[in-house]
Amino acid sequence: MNHRITIDDSEVAFDCGPQQSVLDAALRAGIELPYSCRKGVCGNCAGTVSEGEVAGLGGPIRNDSCAPGQVLLCMCAPRTDLRLRPASWHRIDPDARKRFTAKVFRNQLAAPDVSVLQLRLPAGQRARFQAGQYLQLALPDGSTRCYSMANPPHESDALTLHVRHVPGGAFSARVAQLTTGDTLEVELPFGAVTLEADADRPFVLVVGGTGFAPAKSILDDMARRRVDRPITLIWGARHAQGIYLRPAIAKWQRQWPQPFRFIEALSGEQREGAFHGRTDAALRAHCPDLRAHALYCCGSPAMVQAVREAAHASGLAPSRFHADVFVNGPADAWAP
C-alpha cells in the first residue's frame, strides 16, 4: 500500500510505495531533495520525519551520518503517511536533464593512473548543470558509470572528466585508449549539492584522488562568481604524482581575494611541505576548530566516512557536511 508524504510548510505531497525509498519517490514525483550516492554513504539526503513512521530498507534504519533525530531518506521507506522536513527541496525542471552524444576532444594522462578527458557537445548544444553535479555515461552493454564534471557550469559546450584507471574496470581501464573523435553517450545532470546555503562561511574541501574533479568545478565556479570567503583545500593521494593538477591550485592561490590554503596529504610518501598521512588526519591537524565552517568532501566511501568523523570531532555541524561518494556502480537509474 502506498503512503502519502507531505513536505512540511508546503503544498507539496507525493506517494511512496512500502518498498520504495522516500528519496526515490520524491525524485520520481519531480521533487528534488539533496542527494548524491543513494546508497546510504554520503549523508546528503538526511532529513527529519516530523510526523509518521519509517522503516529501514533491507535492514535497520541508517542514521549514523545524520544529526540526532534525522534519517537518511535514501535508505528508508514509509510505514505510515509522513510529514517530512528535508534540508531543502525544489521542483525538478523536466527539461534540465538531457542526453548527448559527446565527442572526445582531448584525452591526456595527468598521472600514471588518471586520464583527463575533454568532451565536446554537438554544435549549438549546451549542458546545464551545477558545480558538483555528475553525469552518467552509457557503456555498450547498457550499464552506466557516473563521473563528476570537473569543468565549471559556464563552460557549457564541453565536459571535462577526471577518470582514475581501475584495474579491470569496464570503462576506466580503457579510457586512456579513447582518441579524438570517439563518441560517448552521456546524460546529465545528476546529484544535488547544497553548498549555496553556507555561502558566507569559511569553506574546507577535502578530496581524495579524482575526488578533486567536482572540487575543481566548484572552485572554478566560485572564482568566476568572485565568491569571497576563506578556502582550505586538502587533497589526498598516495604519492605526489597523484596531485595531478597543480597549476589549477597555483592559479586559485594567485587570484583568491582571501587566503587560499592548500594542503597536500600524502599517505605513501614523505615530502617537504606536504602532510604525511591520510586526509582525515590532515583535517584534524590543520583545521582543529570547524565550528564556523562548511565542508565539502569527495572520495571513496571509507575516506568520506573517516573525514566525516574527523570533521564532527572538530565541531562541524552535521548539516554543514556535504559529500559526494565515488561508490562503485550507478547511483541513479538511466532514464527510460
Ligand X SMILES: Cc1cc2nc3c(=O)[nH]c(=O)nc-3n(C[C@H](O)[C@H](O)[C@H](O)COP(=O)(O)OP(=O)(O)OC[C@H]3O[C@@H](n4cnc5c(N)ncnc54)[C@H](O)[C@@H]3O)c2cc1C
x/- track of binding to ligand X for residues 126-145 (CB under 6 A): --------x----------x
Contact by Cβ (8 Å): 5, 17? no
Nearer of residues 180 and 328 to ligand X, judged by Cβ: 328
Amino acid, res. 157: D
Neighbours of 105 (CB within 10 A): 15
Checking phi first, is residue 217 left (phi over 0); if not, alpha (psi -120 to 50) or beta? alpha
Q: Is 250 in a helix, a strand, or coil?
A: helix
Contact between 327 and ligand X (CB under 6 A)? yes
Judged by CB under 6 A, which stretch of 123-131, 236-244, 312-320, 327-335 contacts ligand X?
Answer: 327-335
Q: Is 63 in the site for ligand X (CB under 6 A)?
A: no
Per rule CB under 6 A, is residue 296 in the interface with ligand X? no
70 burial via Cβ count (<10 Å: 0-12, 13-18, 19+)? buried
Q: Which is nearer to ligand X, 49 or 127 (CB)?
A: 127
Retrieve residue 304's grid coordinates: 568520506
Instruction: Write each residue from 159 to 198 as x if it is in contact with ligand X (CB under 6 A), else as -, in one continuous string.
Output: ---xxx-x-xxxxxx-------------------------
CA neighbor of 8 nearest in space, from 49, 45, 36: 49
Phi and psi, residue 280, nearest 5°: -65, -35
Tell me which stretch binds ligand X (CB under 6 A): 51-59, 156-164, 244-252, 301-309.
Answer: 156-164
Give the residues lining the site for ligand X (CB under 6 A): 36-37, 134, 145-148, 162-164, 166, 168-173, 210, 213, 324, 326-328, 331
